[in-house]
A and B are shown apart, each in its own frame.
Chain A
Amino acid sequence: MRLLKNIRNLTVGIKLNILAFLIFSLLLLGMILVTNSSMNTFALQAGRQNVAQNGQIIQNRFDEIEQETINNAVTLSNNPGLPEALATGNIRDVQSELLINATRFKFDDMDVVDINGKRLFDITLENSEAENALIKLALLGFDASGAVLSNEGEFQNISIAAAIPIHDAFGKTIGVIIGSRLIDDEMLSGVNIFPGHENELVLIVNGKIAASSFKEEKELEFFSPYLLDPALIKQALNGQVIIGDQLVNNPEISPHALGYFPLTIGADTFAVIGLAANVGELTIIKNQLIANQRLVFALFALSGNILLAVFAVREVANPLRRLQSAAEQIAKGNYASLAAAETTDEIGRLNNAFNGMAAQIQGLISGLEQQVAQRTQELKQRSEKLELTSLESEKRANDLQTITEISRYLSTEKEMEKLLPLIAQTVSERLGFYHVGIFLLSENKKYAVLRAANSTGGQRMLKRQHMLEVGQVGIVGHVTSTGSPRIALDTGTDAVYFNNPDLPETHSEMALPLSVRGTIIGALDVQSMTPNAFTETDISILSLLADQLAIAIDNVRLLEEAQNALLESRTAFRQYLADSWQNKSASEVLGYYQTLTGGQLVTSKTIEAVEEFDTKDLNTVDIPIHLHSQVIGTIRVRPNKEKKNFNKDELMILESVAERLGLALDNARLFEETSTRAEREHLVADITTKIRTSNDPQEMIATAVNELKRALGATNIQIVPQKRLPPDN
């Protein structure tokens, strides 16, 4: 798993190289497999062909041996001594010659049979049916040949036998000579000569190996199981040629192809030839070919691998690397695009798509940068504006505070002489103007008199009671004349306004009218050391201040007037009260006197008795009876003799009683006056009603006179018409 993970983390180039290596390794493996398989098939087919060909050759060689045997037997049968020997039944004369020839012909057995089938001579004395059958055929005059079986222990041997008739001089068959050759190892080796091939043969008779050409016993043992398949032997005995379709392989023995052939001698098939054809040389060739092919394939695979790797790196890894580099550059903000793709494959399309993407990103970023710059600029402007606004807000707040403060002064301060300097000082400090002056018009409205100023120069001007003629002198004169605000700058024609020696530092000045209900009452003069110092806000604020100031001044004036009027009213009221109580006390009851023994009214007639209240008595307390700050009487209280002084509570009670008493007395007086007035009004109303009962003026006058007489008890009442006066000029 880790290996896989590591592989997955390798670069694409290395992965492609590994893939190429794997692909070509697999190809190489596949080619080797195919070659191996093909060569195995080739070796097998060659081996099978070899077996088939060699089998046929071997059969032919046995046929030759058979024919040779026949010929040799014919030669023996032509022995000139034989007819006589057969005729006489004595073969001894020709026996030695026959044996010599038989040995020369490699006959293992030789029989001489007379026409009756009697053996006159027999080498082995072993006679089989097959041999007898051959003899019978020969006795019929046929050259007969065939296979003859013989026993040797548990094994059976097989011989190639030829029975040849022996004729007399007239061609008549008089006997038979039969010769046979045992098929042994030597014969097998003799037929097993194949230049360039290594074959081994076994003769299988009755399921057992009767002879073999194997030189190594070990090899014979190895191949015996393969060559002694009973079913196959049976098939071969039926005349079938059987060739193995696979090679027999053994690490120690070369691969062999196997085959079974029926061995036919004459018309007899009593034995099977097993053939093991060595295809080792083919295997060597095959191995050499495979080795060569491996080398060629390896070189091919290496070349292909290198080519594929180069191709992969060139066509895949490098473009990807370039894309990666370009992507990193883009990540760093460098939008230089890749070169246009030379191919139209996926990587080429990716390359082009990447370029498109890069261009789009560049466009987006560029647009964003522009937008950012624009927004930054806007932000900066807004910030500046905000700063300005903030400053303005701050200033406005300051101004508002100033206004608030001044408004507080204006609402709290009631004295003109304190208010005006305070306003001048506050406006100067808050709004930053070095000189603030307040002018009020004189009573005759001809001059604007400086009433307050904060600056040093202004103080000097106050001392000398600086005043300016309305409509004539300076900005203030202009403003108090026109009622319109005016700003003057230290330039142009207005420069003349700045020649005031008391205020030499002034470079801009503004005067605002102080007007109440359309009437100009003065001017607010503000001067700055800064040229063009006044803003719209300043103008607004100062205008507002001027209006408030005007109202405040007016209020103070009105207050002063109201206070004066109140003072006068109070004085008159007190006078009225004094007069009313004076009249009251002079005409009626002066007071009331009460002791433990009883009380009495104090009148002018009984005042003397009250005088007994010795004021000299220190224990006597006088509590004044107040009415609207006017003393209308006194409660004089003298304690019991046992009690020397009144305590504090008692005194407070007395004061409260005195106060209530005052009010009660005044109410009583007022009720009385009101009643009197009501009676009078009733009378007037009654008279008026009566007068209105008639529309006749004369009657109305008479009614009026009569009613007045009745009401007033007057004796003479006249109604005199008004004399006409000359008109006024």
Chain B
Amino acid sequence: MKDRHFRLVYLYLILVLLVAACGNSSAISPTPTSGSLVILKISGSGTITTVLKAIKPTFEAATPGYKLEILSGSSTGNGVTGVLENLLDAAAMARAPKDEEIAKGIKYYEMGLVGQAIITHPSLVNVISLDNRQISDIFSGKITNWAEVGGPNLKIVLYVRDEDDTSTKGLRKIIIGNTPFPETAKTLFSQSDMAFSVEGTPEAVGIAAWVSIMATQAKVKAIAINGTPPDDASYPILGSAGLGYLADRESDIQPLINWLSSPDGQAELKALGFVPNQ
């Protein structure tokens, strides 16, 4: 009996001490709530940087610890230069690397094929498809009214990119050759300017990488060439697009490549208008 009384008293005392002890606690032991972070600085082709900006959230969500820092693009060549000068981790390339670039150590991952789309204002509903000749005539200034190609009686406003641009190069190579753009054509220097200009001009026509249009969700429409849309494998103006990087940075780039190669990545690319290269 006596022991039991004492036990009760002890229990009571211990509880009181616990209460007293709970009052003060100043020790902190912080715990990480995220892992280490690798930021890939990428730029290059305006088209592909736009695409990369579009897939950035999905990729980052799917790949913890990796973030993409996509600088606004200029050109594939500058991207490769940035990579070669260690200013960039990867180059967004709208073409396959040149031999001299490969010679400097550039490795290339092809994301897919990109169609250079003939884009118009979405209000131009009657013009759905053009043949090569029609396109050539438009971009050479021979056709100047939409009524000539089955559209409304509107004077065509022609937007073109500079001659160094991949889109221009593809257009010349496949459709118009070396025929110069008419003087009435307005030259733009970026994909965004192109998309923005066409979007804001009901009678406009221009050329842009379809993937960048999809990526920026610009309110323009693509005109099929001979009935073939730009995201079709048989589309005439298709060019390779991918990432260029140095071999010693491959381990950093690999997660991005892995994701892009994964079914999720491929689906994302397809949704953006990429044509799979196989």
- A26 CB within 8 Å of chain B: yes
Q: Mark A251-279, 1 if CB is under 8 A from B, else 0.
A: 00000001110101011110000000000
**Interface pair B30/A242, CB less than 8 Å apart:** yes
Contact of A136 among B24, B26, B85, B190 (CB under 8 A): B85
Q: How far is the CA of A475 from the CA of B23 in the complex (A)?
A: 128
Task: Tally B residues with Cβ within 8 Å of A.
Answer: 50
Chain B residues lying within 8 Å of A145, measured Cβ to Cβ, are 71
- B67 CB within 8 Å of chain A: yes
Contact of A245 among B2, B31, B35, B65 (CB under 8 A): B31
- B242 CB within 8 Å of chain A: no
Q: How far is the CA of A250 from the CA of B27 in the complex (A)?
A: 11
Given known A-B contacts A133-B87, A238-B37, A249-B24, A140 and B32 have beta carbons under 8 A apart: no
- A240 CB within 8 Å of chain B: yes
- B189 CB within 8 Å of chain A: yes
**Interface pair A36/B22, CB less than 8 Å apart:** yes
- A248 CB within 8 Å of chain B: yes
Contact of A241 among B16, B34, B85, B187 (CB under 8 A): B34
Chain B residues lying within 8 Å of A33, measured Cβ to Cβ, are 15, 18-19, 22
Contact of A26 among B12, B22, B28 (CB under 8 A): B12
User: Looking at the complex, which of B74-82, B169-177, B178-186, B204-212 is the stretch in contact with chain A?
Assistant: B74-82
- B38 CB within 8 Å of chain A: yes
Chain A residues lying within 8 Å of B39, measured Cβ to Cβ, are 239, 264, 267-269
**Interface pair B30/A244, CB less than 8 Å apart:** yes
Interface residues of B in 48-107 (CB under 8 A from A): 65, 67, 69, 71-75, 78-79, 81-82, 85, 87-89
**Shortest distance from the beta carbon of A76 to any chain B beta carbon, whole Å:** 16
Contact of A226 among B5, B16, B28, B36 (CB under 8 A): B28
Q: How far is the CA of A45 from the CA of B1 in the complex (A)?
A: 45
**Interface pair A4/B5, CB less than 8 Å apart:** yes
Chain A residues lying within 8 Å of B125, measured Cβ to Cβ, are none
**Interface pair A267/B189, CB less than 8 Å apart:** no
Given known A-B contacts A26-B12, A144-B71, A246 and B37 have beta carbons under 8 A apart: no
Shortest Cβ distance from A37 into B: residue: B22
User: Looking at the complex, which of A163-171, A376-384, A608-616 is the stretch in contact with chain B?
Assistant: A163-171
**Shortest distance from the beta carbon of B270 to any chain A beta carbon, whole Å:** 28
Q: How far is the CA of A264 from the CA of B34 in the complex (A)?
A: 14
Given known A-B contacts A141-B75, A269-B39, A240 and B32 have beta carbons under 8 A apart: yes
**Shortest distance from the beta carbon of B101 to any chain A beta carbon, whole Å:** 14
- B143 CB within 8 Å of chain A: no
Q: How far is the CA of A137 from the CA of B82 in the complex (A)?
A: 7
**Interface pair A235/B32, CB less than 8 Å apart:** yes
**Interface pair B73/A142, CB less than 8 Å apart:** yes
- A32 CB within 8 Å of chain B: yes
Q: Mark A217-239, 1 if CB is under 8 A from B, else 0.
A: 00000000010010010010011
Chain A residues lying within 8 Å of B189, measured Cβ to Cβ, are 167, 170-171
**Interface pair A142/B37, CB less than 8 Å apart:** no
Chain B residues lying within 8 Å of A37, measured Cβ to Cβ, are 22
Q: How far is the CA of A37 from the CA of B25 in the complex (A)?
A: 12
**Shortest distance from the beta carbon of A347 to any chain B beta carbon, whole Å:** 20
Chain B residues lying within 8 Å of A264, measured Cβ to Cβ, are 37, 39, 67
Central interface residue in A36, A145, A238, by most chain B CB within 10 Å: A238
Chain B residues lying within 8 Å of A268, measured Cβ to Cβ, are 39
**Interface pair A262/B26, CB less than 8 Å apart:** no
Q: How far is the CA of A269 from the CA of B39 in the complex (A)?
A: 9
Q: How far is the CA of A232 from the CA of B187 in the complex (A)?
A: 53
Chain A residues lying within 8 Å of B65, measured Cβ to Cβ, are 239
Given known A-B contacts A137-B71, A245-B29, A246-B28, A240 and B34 have beta carbons under 8 A apart: yes
Contact of A243 among B8, B31, B74 (CB under 8 A): B31
- A29 CB within 8 Å of chain B: yes
**Shortest distance from the beta carbon of A682 to any chain B beta carbon, whole Å:** 124
**Interface pair B30/A259, CB less than 8 Å apart:** yes
Q: How far is the CA of A245 from the CA of B32 in the complex (A)?
A: 10
Q: Mark A162-186, 1 if CB is under 8 A from B, else 0.
A: 0001010011010000000000000
**Interface pair A240/B43, CB less than 8 Å apart:** no
**Shortest distance from the beta carbon of A328 to any chain B beta carbon, whole Å:** 25
- B162 CB within 8 Å of chain A: yes
- A22 CB within 8 Å of chain B: yes
Given known A-B contacts A264-B37, A266-B41, A22 and B32 have beta carbons under 8 A apart: no
Q: How far is the CA of A240 from the CA of B30 in the complex (A)?
A: 12
- B251 CB within 8 Å of chain A: no
Central interface residue in B5, B31, B79, B89, by most chain A CB within 10 Å: B31
**Interface pair B38/A239, CB less than 8 Å apart:** yes
Central interface residue in B19, B40, B71, B187, by most chain A CB within 10 Å: B71
Q: How far is the CA of A259 from the CA of B34 in the complex (A)?
A: 12
- A143 CB within 8 Å of chain B: yes
Chain B residues lying within 8 Å of A52, measured Cβ to Cβ, are 33
**Interface pair A238/B87, CB less than 8 Å apart:** no
Q: Mark A22-38, 1 if CB is under 8 A from B, else 0.
A: 10001001101100110
**Shortest distance from the beta carbon of B53 to any chain A beta carbon, whole Å:** 12
**Interface pair A143/B71, CB less than 8 Å apart:** yes
**Shortest distance from the beta carbon of A129 to any chain B beta carbon, whole Å:** 11
Interface residues of A in 342-367 (CB under 8 A from B): none
Interface residues of B in 1-19 (CB under 8 A from A): 1-2, 5, 8, 11-12, 15-16, 18-19
Contact of B8 among A22, A36, A133, A242 (CB under 8 A): A22
**Shortest distance from the beta carbon of A351 to any chain B beta carbon, whole Å:** 25
Chain B residues lying within 8 Å of A229, measured Cβ to Cβ, are 30
Chain B residues lying within 8 Å of A144, measured Cβ to Cβ, are 71
**Shortest distance from the beta carbon of B98 to any chain A beta carbon, whole Å:** 17
Chain B residues lying within 8 Å of A232, measured Cβ to Cβ, are 30
**Interface pair B28/A245, CB less than 8 Å apart:** yes
Chain B residues lying within 8 Å of A242, measured Cβ to Cβ, are 30-33
Chain B residues lying within 8 Å of A133, measured Cβ to Cβ, are 87
Chain B residues lying within 8 Å of A243, measured Cβ to Cβ, are 30-31, 33
Chain A residues lying within 8 Å of B72, measured Cβ to Cβ, are 142-143
Q: How far is the CA of A167 from the CA of B193 in the complex (A)?
A: 14
Chain B residues lying within 8 Å of A170, measured Cβ to Cβ, are 162, 187, 189
Given known A-B contacts A141-B74, A142-B72, A250 and B2 have beta carbons under 8 A apart: no
**Interface pair A140/B78, CB less than 8 Å apart:** yes
Given known A-B contacts A26-B12, A140-B82, A239-B65, A32 and B35 have beta carbons under 8 A apart: no
**Interface pair A137/B33, CB less than 8 Å apart:** no
Given known A-B contacts A137-B87, A239-B65, A245 and B30 have beta carbons under 8 A apart: yes
Chain A residues lying within 8 Å of B87, measured Cβ to Cβ, are 133, 136-137, 140
Would you mind naming 10 contact pairs between A and B with Cβ atoms under 8 Å apart? A26-B12, A26-B15, A52-B33, A136-B85, A141-B73, A142-B73, A239-B34, A240-B34, A243-B33, A246-B29
Known: A137-B82, A247-B25, A247-B28. 6 other contacts (CB 8 A): A26-B11, A30-B15, A136-B85, A137-B43, A140-B78, A238-B37
Q: What residues of chain A have their CB less than 8 Å away from a CB belonging to chain B?
A: 4, 7-8, 22, 26, 29-30, 32-33, 36-37, 40, 52, 133, 136-137, 140-145, 165, 167, 170-171, 173, 226, 229, 232, 235, 238-250, 258-260, 262, 264, 266-269
- 5 shortest interchain CB distances as A-B pairs: A239-B37, A141-B74, A171-B189, A267-B69, A140-B78
